[in-house]
């Protein structure tokens, strides 16, 4: 999830914050999430070498914002459930584990089986919101222009802690890993490639890319489904590129999480 620093939500007000800069962080008192400050900037969104739904490349300017350093974990989601806000997990397993949610061994693994509505409800409880698609891609790029992945153009590796590390279909186990199992990108963010697909705020626009604005775009006003980003443990490296876009129906629940 993300949050705007102007004005910040009460629970997320940095104190003191005379001059926020790249590298500034804060911790949410509600779920314990560490958030990174992303300064305002302009970038080229999309990829001319990708699929048609990643085109056209267009210039986007964003105000500064906060974004979660990791995907929301099982333990964090449990706090929202305990508060009586988030829906109970109807599926407590993962792809290869019969016990996933509610098992202490997987407390620091990304929550899955959440719909877009579930993710939005969590963000409202945490006094944040889902990032826009533009915020997500800008943050995922980590300050690198024209790179395919959050770390650059090198192919991903399964090696834990690796700078170009990610959990994808060549890795073992054939399932999720704890958040922050690999090195962060240039903005201090983890798992912007692989592990689980992540919901963002925007509607998916009829199967192709139609940029809505050049300044803080919010995406189309309606659609059939919402955008997911980042690829997952079950995808090939090409699906982990920062410009890749996928769609999930609002009620869709699978190996999809969020930040």
Contacts of 7 (CB under 8 A, 6+ apart): none
Q: Looking at residues 93-119, what average pLDDT do you find?
A: 96
Do residues 54 and 243 touch, judged by C-beta distance below 8 A?
yes
The predicted pLDDT at position 243 comes to: 97
Question: What is the rounded CA–CA span in Å between residue 84 and residue 24?
Answer: 31
Q: Could you tell me how many residues make up the chain?
A: 259
Nearest-5° Cα angle at 65, 61 to 67: 120
Q: Is the peptide bond before 183 cis (omega within 30 degrees of 0)?
A: no
Q: What is the pLDDT of residues 15-69, one digit of tens each?
A: 444 468 889 999 999 999 999 999 999 999 999 998 999 999 999 999 999 999 9
Residue range 114-125, pLDDT digits in tens: 999 999 999 999
Chain segment 126-164, per-residue pLDDT in tens: 999 999 999 999 999 999 999 999 999 999 999 999 999
Alpha helices in the chain (DSSP H): 74-82, 116-125, 133-141
Residue 11, pLDDT score: 45
pTM for the structure as a whole: 0.92
pLDDT at 6 over 80: no
Instruction: Please report the pLDDT score of residue 65 as a whole number.
Output: 96
Looking at residue 207, its pLDDT comes to 63
Note the pLDDT of residue 117.
Answer: 95
What is the structure's pLDDT at 245? 95
pLDDT above 80: residue 14: no
Per-residue pLDDT of 201-246, as tens digits, reads 999 987 677 777 799 999 998 998 999 999 999 999 999 999 999 9
Termini Cα distance of the chain: 4
């Amino acid at each position: 999830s993300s949050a705007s620093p102007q004005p910040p939500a009460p629970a997320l007000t940095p104190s003191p914050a005379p001059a926020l800069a790249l590298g500034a962080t804060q911790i949410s008192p509600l779920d314990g999430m560490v958030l990174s400050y992303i300064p305002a900037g302009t970038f080229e969104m999309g990829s001319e070498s990708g699929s048609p739904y990643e085109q056209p490349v267009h210039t986007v300017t964003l105000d500064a914002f906060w974004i979660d350093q990791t995907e929301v974990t099982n333990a964090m989601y449990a706090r929202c459930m305990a508060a009586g806000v988030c829906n109970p997990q109807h599926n407590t397993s993962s792809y290869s584990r019969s016990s996933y949610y509610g098992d202490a061994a997987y407390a620091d693994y990304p929550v899955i089986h959440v719909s877009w509505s579930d993710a939005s409800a969590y963000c409202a409880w945490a006094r944040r919101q889902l990032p826009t698609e533009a915020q997500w891609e800008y943050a995922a790029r980590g300050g690198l222009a024209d790179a395919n992945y959050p770390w650059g153009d090198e192919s991903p590796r399964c090696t834990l802690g690796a700078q170009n590390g990610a959990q994808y279909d060549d890795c073992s186990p054939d399932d999720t890993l704890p958040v922050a199992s690999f090195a962060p990108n240039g903005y201090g963010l983890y798992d912007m490639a692989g592990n689980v697909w992540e919901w963002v705020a925007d509607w998916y626009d009829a199967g192709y890319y139609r940029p809505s604005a050049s300044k803080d775009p919010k995406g189309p006003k309606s659609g059939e489904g919402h955008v997911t980003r980042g690829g997952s443990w079950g995808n090939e490296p090409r699906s982990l590129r920062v410009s890749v876009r996928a769609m999930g129906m609002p009620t869709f629940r699978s190996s999809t999480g969020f930040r």
